[in-house]
Structure 1
Amino acid sequence: MSHRAPVLLPLTTDRLTLRAHESDDAGRLHGIYSQPEVARYLLDEPWTEADATRHVSERLAKTGLDDESHALALVIEHEGTPVGDVLLWLTDTEHRIAEIGWVLDPAHGGQGLAREAVGEVLRIAFEHYRLHRVTAQMDARNDASARLAAALGMRQEAHFRQDWWNKGEWTDTLVFALLFGDR
């Protein structure tokens, strides 16, 4: 990708602040990712405190698609409290293709916060980074994420049956995508 000015953080929406991860987010994100209902559809088991420290440490370096990490990791804050995070990472630098993923604390679900946060990151993906395509892959049982992807205009392109062995069982994967021209 050609070098451009970095995304100016934090990003703000009507109700949210999206900011870079900070070291002290480990405790807050542990509270979210340690919940079995959050980890159910993720590749990781519920986070321990050590997992949270390691993951946040890794995310500290993910400050933009043009930097060495080729990734942008943002904490979602609502009323000053971290309620989840959104990650965007390049999967094909030359052709400007990326993947997006998100997690929201179930205690804050049903309010449109994930839609607001992920929608803003998709806006940055296409308007700032000028990406050609952004995909989202998820466990097919994750109805909330599938509804969110569809609500954001992402098209379901695939339903892979029993393609992933995860946590002792075969799971299906849904793939959604949004193209620059779809917006």
Structure 2
Amino acid sequence: MTPILATERLRLRPARVDDAEALHPGYADEAAMRYWSHAPHTDPAQTRAKLTRNLAAEGWRMWVATLADDDRAIGTASVHDTRPGEVAEIGYSLVRAHWGRGLAREMVAALLDRLFRAEGLRRVFADTDPDNAASNRLLAALGFTLEGRLRGEWRTHLGVRDSLIWGLLADEWLSSSASTRSAAAHSTASPAPRPPPA
């Protein structure tokens, strides 16, 4: 189940393949995609194929973020249940037009609240490129601890890259000021089933 999550400014709902058109500008943005594991998309069909694969991937859940009053996708939030019920990896993206407003933080905080408060996970982690300063700042601000650096971990369009591993434990999140603000700012609506792969 991928529940609908709501924050003060955002709504996170299950992703659909037809979100590809709205998300393509983000996946085609060279600056936004610089530190991803693949090159920017050059055609909307690539974005549609990526969403199709992601929605069919076992052990993964994917939301899109929309503004509260508009159903058009402006970002993504993903969870890989690496040890279901205990540990998960998260990933996230936001279309450039919505950068600089704290929306990525709001989106990820809502996701963390879901994973720790509602699902009872004990650990969440994220994997970032060492040079992805914005993502590294976001994780640090949310209370993640930099746990290590994996050398030569990924081969990407930039070449072979190291990877930083950031971790957050349930008690750290639940006792943090970021968690308190997030819990006060959002609520969880009725669960919605994950859409079938197209």
Please, what TM-score do these two structures have when normalized by structure 1? 0.85
1:122 and 1:172 map into 2 onto residues whose CA distance is 25
Q: Against the structure 1 CA distance between its residues 24 and 178, is the aligned structure 2 distance closer, same or farther, given a 3 Å change threshold?
A: same
1:31 is matched with which residue: 14, 25, 30?
A: 25
Contact 1:20 1:60 in 2 (8 A): no
* Aligned-partner Cα distance in 1 for 2:152–2:16: 37
Q: 2:80 aligns with which of 79, 85, 89?
A: 89
> Of residues 136, 146, 164 in structure 2, which corresponds to 1:146?
136
- Change in CA separation of 1:61 and 1:169 when aligned onto 2, cut-off 3 Å: closer
CA displacement at 1:37 relative to structure 2: 1.1
Tell me the CA shift for residue 132 of structure 1: 1.3
What code does the residue aligned with 1:96 have?
A: E
- Relative to structure 1, is the Cα distance of residues 60 and 172 closer, same or farther in structure 2, using a 3 angstrom cutoff? closer
Per-residue deviation, residues 32-80 of structure 1 (Å, max 9, x unmatched): 1011112211001112322211122234457xxxxxx332201011252
> Which residue of 1 is the match for residue 193 of structure 2?
none
Deviation at 1:159, TM superposition (A): 2.4
Q: What secondary structure does 1:24 align onto?
A: helix
Structure 2 distance, partners of 1:105, 1:168, is 21
What amino acid is the match of 2:62?
Answer: A
* Aligned residue identity for 2:6: T
Partner of 2:105: 115
Distance 1:8 1:166 in 2: 32
Partner residue of 1:124 out of 102, 114, 133: 114
Question: How many Å separate the matches in 2 of 1:18 and 1:147?
Answer: 22
Name the one with the larger helix percent: 2
Shift of 1:97: 1.1
**2:3 equivalent to 1:12:** no
How many residues end up aligned between the 2 structures? 170
Q: Which amino acid aligns with 2:113?
A: R
> 2:164 is matched with which residue?
174
> Do structure 1's residue 50 and structure 2's residue 52 form an aligned pair?
no
Aligned-pair Cα RMSD in Å: 1.8
Report sequence identity in percent.
34
**Mean Cα displacement is larger for which, 81-90 or 47-56?**
47-56
Paired letter, 1:71: W
Mark the runs of 5 or more structure 2 residues left unpaired by the alignment.
174-198
Distance 2:64 2:120 in 1: 22
SS at match of 2:77: strand
- In 1, distance between residues paired with 2:2 and 2:155? 36
Displacement of 1:91: 1.3
Query: How far off its partner does 1:171 sit?
Result: 1.9
- Where in structure 1 do 4 or more consecutive aligned residues deviate above 4 Å? none
